[in-house]
Amino acid sequence: MSSTPITRTVAPGTGGELLVGLVAKVHGLRGELAVDVRTDSPEERFAPGSVLVSRRTGRPDGTLTVESARPHSGRLLVRFVEVPDRTAAEEMRGARLLIGVESLAPAEDPEEFHAHQLEGLRAELADGESLGTVREIVHGPGGDLLVVAREGRADLLVPFVREIVPTVDLDGGRVVLTPPEGLLDLDQN
């Protein structure tokens, strides 16, 4: 069976915000930050002039304006206008970089979804039998998985491919699953 992935456009976040990056460390002396990217659109989210919310534990949220970004060793090296030097950059370690959901343009392709749009949808079989609720999307090395929360049972992990998830009905608040034999019988912990 072929596995045709369904495209995601942003990494999942919480509430009305989406995580687009995590500050991993400082790079060099001029205040560049090595950022672990958590979005499928880094060229858009980290374009010069883009404004992100920075969130650090125990500190008030701040805003950061991207001055420049460039790829480096699987990460982005990002300079922010508000982070002029290494000393200021050291304060940013561990910061979560977020955007507001309202800033996202609707997906143009009907086969493309923002991850936050899927969270909370009912998961059901083609005959209408309810399986649970999509709790989150896990982006693994083998592809994306829907995590379906089931009452009184372990979460169900469902490969997010067209053959198994043929219908995503955002207006109807549901995803329809056509799982291969045995997928629902597995005791997933």
pLDDT tens per residue, range 103-161: 666 656 566 676 777 888 999 999 999 999 998 887 766 778 899 999 888 999 999 88
- Specify whether the CB–CB gap between 83 and 92 falls below 8 A: yes
**25-34, 87-96, 105-114: the lowest-pLDDT one:** 105-114
**Global pTM?**
0.58
For the chain, domains (ranges, CATH) are 8-103 (2.40.30.60), 119-177 (2.30.30.240)
Distance CA 165, CA 189 (A): 21
Answer left, alpha or beta for residue 136, where phi above 0 means left and psi between -120 and 50 means alpha. beta
Distance CA 150, CA 164 (A): 18
Residue among 183, 117, 178 at smallest CA distance from 156 = 183
Q: What percent of the chain clears pLDDT 70, i.e. is strictly above it?
A: 81
Q: Find tokens 């291969």 and name the residue.
A: 180
